[in-house]
Amino acid sequence: MPLLLSLPAFAAELVMYTRNGCPFCVRFEREVAPVYAKTPEGTAAPLRRVDLPAGGMRGGGLLEPVIATPTFVLMDGEKEVGRITGYLNDDMFWGLLGRLVAVIEIPQVQRSGAPTQ
């Protein structure tokens, strides 16, 4: 009987709050977005963009309101586990994101394919 490993389903995502005309959002889109999905971070927490309405965003599992763009909120399931407010350059972004993604609990997979506790 062949050994089958099932990969865990990831509930994490990186939500990018953005607005039209945000110069730092444009810079992120140019410097990071083209490669994000191909990275370990992008695999662990796929990027989802949300247009930030006037007055900001509250609730929805956020620990505090989002009022600035870009703001990157790492969500694990329905709750915020961390955020990056602003974007200066790709080196700073990757360093900060690496710390955030490290706190996501990723189930270990046993040879039987059942997640460990």
Inform me whether the pLDDT recorded for 105 exceeds 80: no
pLDDT in tens, 4-43: 443 444 579 999 999 999 999 999 999 999 999 999 999 9
Question: Are the C-beta atoms of 48 and 16 separated by less than 8 Å?
Answer: yes
List Cβ<8 Å contacts ≥24 apart for 54-63: 57/17
Q: Which residue has the higher pLDDT, 11 or 58?
A: 58
Question: Considering the entire predicted model, what is its pTM?
Answer: 0.81
For residue 63, give every residue at least 6 positions away whose Cβ sits within 8 Å of its Cβ, in sequence order, or none.
80, 83
